[in-house]
Amino acid sequence: MLELPLNTDFTHKVVVVTGAGGVLCGTMARAFAQAGAKVAALDLNQEAVEKLAEEVQAEGFILRGYRANVLEAEELEEIHQQILSDLGPCDILVNGAGGNNPRATTDNEYHHERTEGQKTFFDLEPNGVDFVFKLNFQGTLLPTQVFARDMAERKSGCILNVSSMNAYVPLTKIPAYSGAKAAVSNFTQWLATHFAGTGIRCNAIAPGFLLSNQNRALLFQEDGTPTPRTSKILAGTPMRRFVEGEELLGAVFFLCDDCAASAITGVVLPIDGGYSAYSGV
């Protein structure tokens, strides 16, 4: 059981969470269920969301797992119909699917410091860059096209996107991921404006540095010692630590609460231990 940060009651709400097979979005899905929502957990990894569903249902809450490719519109629509039958129309959509790919990552931070055999900017694979942009941007756009229809018809609802601190200041080595998350932030503002007259609010969170399976190789050596990149990150973070996944929940609940955040739309909220506030001196 999670220790929920706010006493927000999402009873009778249907919450769809993409990327719920991962640790961060799986935690969000579990938290919404504990707060009374009926949760649809979507991920390409069917085994992961089914395991999550078993655990949450055993605790007495409502969560169902669905295998979903967020880049396949027809597949998403089929799952939408299943969710309508199983749980009802979507009230809250959390677009959490995303990530980086080694094919879109350089080995060197600075080109002039490159060494023989390293993958440089000039070696980045176009299909890798394309995959990262599609996963993060289209992986947010397509689920919104499918599930926000429920909200538009009822003139009520909330969309929460997952951006990143990379959207504010691009990080070395990961140009595609940084650019894609900047697109997610911009799209969040676009959606907020587009849906402003429909009763739908759209916001985003921008997590700072979290340790995940996707970035572990960038942050720690195989023997568990921190990489130089980790030292740089912590030196630039006033709280001098990584953000924990459960520390995102307070912002998630607040932004998705129609009462607490009724006039808040188009916001991208950093959750970064002070990283965005620190000048380095």
Catalytic residue among 66, 177, 275, 278: 177
For 118-155, letters b (16+ CB in 10 Å) and e give: ebeeeebeeebbebbbebbbbbbbbbbebbbebbeeee
**Rounded CA separation 66/238 (Å):** 39
Partners of 205 in the β-ladder: 162, 269
- 275 catalytic? Reply is no
The length of the chain in residues reads: 281
CB atoms near residue 279 (< 10 Å): 5
Largest CA distance in the chain: 59
Residue 3 backbone phi and psi in degrees, to 5: -90, 105
Which residues are designated catalytic? 177
